[in-house]
Amino acid sequence: MAYWLVKSEPAVYSWDHLVKEGNTCWSGVRNYAARNNLMNMKKGDALFFYYSNEGLEIVGIAKVIKEYYPDPTTEDKRWVAVDIEPVQKFKKPVTLSMIKGDNQLSEMVLINNSRLSVQPVNRKEWIAVLKLAGEK
DNA sequence: GCCAACGTTGGC
DNA sequence: GCCAACGTTGGC
């Protein structure tokens, strides 16, 4: 199983919105690197749900429930979407400053390529973030 | 609101 | 195929 991080502006699509809907189509990605990451997601892969612009924190974990298919929000065949559902909200969100302050997380894509909206997360980073969140 | 970093577009 | 101009993202 692989790990990922997706970004959302809470004003546009919040964690609570995802929980309310039960699941959602993660569409609208218009960047090749992010698109390639979407295409590499497998059913059951786990994702951190990060708030950009406001919040600046990882609020919880979601998972992939449907692998990539053509993005329904555009006619352009280049772009794809996946379906995700919420798994768990962190009791304590992991803020960007916490991540920046953690030695094990200095290589995170979130730090080094902050504009990428769909990012891979390695196992070491995944565990380190869970630790910061106070989760097991 | 500003601006750095990055991606995309289009002229040559 | 290069690169300048422009647009967007996202942290501060």
The CATH number linked to A51 is 3.10.590.10
Position A76 pLDDT exceeds 90: no
- Nearest nucleotide over every DNA/RNA strand to the A34 CA, judged by C1': B7
- Six-digit token string for A81: 């979407």
pLDDT for residue A74 is more than 90:
no
Q: In sequence order, what are the residues at sequence separation of 6 or more whose Cβ sits closer than 8 angstroms to the Cβ of residue A128?
A: A102, A104, A105
Residues 106-125 of A with CB under 7 A from strand B: 112-113, 115-116
| Average pLDDT rounded to a whole number, residues A34-40 | 95
Determine whether the distance from the CB of A98 to the nearest atom of strand B is below 7 Å: no
In angstroms, the CA of A100 and the C1' of B5 are apart by: 18
Q: Mean of the per-residue pLDDT values for chain A? A: 95
Among all strands, which nt has the closest C1' to A112 (CA)?
Answer: B5
Strand B within 7 A of A76 CB = no
User: What mean pLDDT is predicted for residues A26-52?
Assistant: 95
List the domain range (segments joined by +) for residue A104.
Answer: 3-133
Protein CA A13 to sugar C1' B11 (Å): 39
User: With contact defined as beta carbons under 8 Å apart, do A58 and A98 qualify?
Assistant: no
Indicate yes or no: strand B within 7 A of the C-beta of A33.
yes
Provide the number of structural domains found in chain A.
1
Is residue A75 predicted with pLDDT exceeding 90?
A: no
Specify whether the CB–CB gap between A2 and A42 falls below 8 A.
Answer: yes
pTM score, two decimals?
0.94
